[in-house]
Structure 1
Amino acid sequence: MAMAAQKHVESLSIDKSVNLQILNYSFRECQLSASGRQYDKLVVGAAIFRHIPNLTSSKVPCILLLKRAPHEPYFPNIFELPSGKVDLDDPTLKHALVREVKEETGLDITKISAQLSPMIYQTEKTIKSDAGTEAFVVKSAIQLNYVVSVSDGLVKLSVEEHSESRWATEEELDELDITDEAKAIIREAFQWSASQ
């Protein structure tokens, strides 16, 4: 990680109830899946809010959602929180969260305010070996979710991963293609926002 990025991560304001200093390898060893093994995939997600004026001139909380690209092997064309896999070279979960938000949105995290419930799910796909045989692969995943504030600016998508960004109100969630698991986390984020 570049020195400027490392200093940015270290200087972030984090609410004391959020533990993001956890070392990547420690989490993987301590948090096991229902099968008793390490999760195949560890993901971090960010609930990012902006308050946007509506027709009555009051400001309505809107959450940033990204639509997965149609060519994605998992959950194509589904809206999700900005999120991504924790890499083995991410020293802590905080480093992974900062990196993923920057990669997926072009925005810098300025504050980490709260931890939301984790989202546990499975991914499934059929792969072909070099010999031409097919195998069905199921992987376990856990997504750790946080409410964060970000720098001002426009969202800049990584077009390889997402086709659209949207600032959605809570009322709009039922109109969008979102998995039930993700929708529950997003509603939890709106509840947190309303309590502030």
Structure 2
Amino acid sequence: MSDPTHSLDYPSSLQEYVVPGQDFLRHHPEYDILCTGIIVFNAEGKLLLVQRAANEMAFPNFWEIPGGKVDDTDESILHAAARELKEEAGLEATRVLRKVTQFTFTDGRPGHPTKTWLKLIFEMEVRDSDNVVLDPVEHQKFLFASEEEIVNDLVGDVKLAYISPPNKGVKLEAFRLQREAL
């Protein structure tokens, strides 16, 4: 299927994510907030990772995939993912290949109610994966990692540290699905 507004192709199996985030949340009241993560493989089959800026208040210097919160102004969840990819890595998504996985987490600060977040992870094709341009406010470095490097938490001399164990699991699941698709 194709959205003529944004030229973002996606398989019909992802139709439930071609709705505004607020509509999705109305049908899934167990979640309070939606966010996305985007898997991008380069031509060599390596996965894009971005390192959070050293001055980020939350999880400085940790490695992650691009992604972020679904905004009320996003046309759909898939468009939110494409927007976040453009904002964080400067990459233009052309096609959503598949949903890789999802996971939930909670945040709760003293004096504030606990919120349940749903993070939806999608694999996307992009126009030029070699043309990564980071938003320096959010990220300070990027690299492409092989599955073995993810397993070993080491790319060359760069030690990979993730926000949580599910974050590493997402990356390994993406490699597994990529192998199955071949």
Paired with 1:106 and 1:32, the residues of 2 have a C-alpha distance of 33
Q: 1:24 aligns with which of 1, 16, 21?
A: 21
- CA RMSD across the alignment: 2.0
Equivalent residues in 2 for 1:131-142, closer than 5 Å:
135=111, 138-142=114-118
- 1:81: Cα distance to partner? 1.0
Moved over 3 A (4+): 123-126, 135-139
Matched, 1:12 2:8: yes
Equivalent residues in 2 for 1:172-187, closer than 5 Å:
172-173=149-150, 174-175=152-153, 176-178=160-162, 179-187=164-172
- 1:124: Cα distance to partner? 5.0
Q: Does the aligned pair in 1 maintain the 2:34–2:69 contact within 8 Å? A: yes
Give the letter for the 1:194 counterpart.
R
Indicate the residue corresponding to 1:147 in structure 2. 123
Paired with 1:50 and 1:8, the residues of 2 have a C-alpha distance of 26
Paired with 1:100 and 1:13, the residues of 2 have a C-alpha distance of 17
Provide Cα deviations, 1:38-94, integer angstroms capped at 9, x if missing partner.
42x311111000132xxxxxxxx2110111112222222111111011111112112
Q: TM-score, normalised by structure 2?
A: 0.84
Indicate the residue corresponding to 1:56 in structure 2. none
Structure 2 unmatched ranges of 5 or more: 154-159
Indicate the residue corresponding to 2:157 in structure 1. none
Q: Does the aligned pair in 2 maintain the 1:69–1:76 contact within 8 Å? A: yes
- 1:15: Cα distance to partner? 1.7
Among the aligned pairs, what percent are the same residue? 29
Paired with 1:107 and 1:97, the residues of 2 have a C-alpha distance of 11
Q: TM-score, normalised by structure 1?
A: 0.78
Aligned residue pairs total 169
Give the letter for the 2:13 counterpart.
S
Matched, 1:43 2:35: yes
Give the letter for the 1:151 counterpart.
R
Give the letter for the 2:142 counterpart.
S
- 1:122: Cα distance to partner? 2.4
Equivalent residues in 2 for 1:85-104, closer than 5 Å:
85-104=69-88
Structure 1 unmatched ranges of 5 or more: 1-5, 53-60, 127-134
Paired with 1:125 and 1:79, the residues of 2 have a C-alpha distance of 24
- 1:108: Cα distance to partner? 0.5
Provide Cα deviations, 1:132-153, integer angstroms capped at 9, x if missing partner.
xxx5775431111101100114
Q: Does the aligned pair in 1 maintain the 2:20–2:72 contact within 8 Å? A: no
Any idea what SS the aligned residue of 2:171 has? helix
Residues 75 and 125 of structure 1, relative CA distance in 2, 3 Å threshold? farther
